[in-house]
Amino acid sequence: MASRKLTHIDKEGRARMVDVTEKSETFRDISIEVIDSGARIEATARTKAETGVEMEAMTAVSVSALTLYDMCKAVEKGISIGPLRLLEKSGGKSGHWVRHI
């Protein structure tokens, strides 16, 4: 198994931001489906850059869920958000990965 390391931690163990100034443009798509007493939100993000783009998709889902909460809180304060999880990722160093549900 290849050695894995945290990309946002420097050699001294301190948190650091990753330089993304050279990132290419990214395609994003969001779908919201009303289910039972909630919603299923999925986001797709694609890029041609050599970087993990899953954080953009997960951020899109998070912001969408918070927006739905903001829109519905007048009628229901006890809304829960979650779980938030990556369903599939392809490309990059880790190759293709699919969550088995």
**pLDDT one-digit tens code per residue, 57-80:** 888 899 999 998 898 888 888 999
Given 19, 29, 36, 70, the catalytic residue: 70
Residue labelled with tokens 């903001």: 70
Answer whether residue 85 is part of any domain.
no
Give the mean pLDDT of 89-98.
81
Asked whether residue 5 is assigned to any structural domain, the reply reads yes
pTM of the predicted model over 0.75: no
Is residue 10 scored above 50 in pLDDT?
yes
Residue 42 in 3-state DSSP?
Answer: strand
Residue 94 lies in a domain: no
Q: Does residue 80 lie within any of the structural domains?
A: no
Does residue 54 lie within any of the structural domains? yes
> What residue ranges in the chain does DSSP mark as E strands?
26-35, 38-47, 88-89, 97-98
Q: How many domains does the chain have?
A: 1
Domain assignment present for 91:
no
How would residue 14 be classed by pLDDT, with cut points 50, 70 and 90? confident
Active-site residue flag, 70 = yes
Domain annotation covers residue 84: no
β-partners of residue 32 are 41
Task: Provide the residue range defining the domain that includes 48.
Answer: 1-75
Decide if 45 is inside a domain: yes
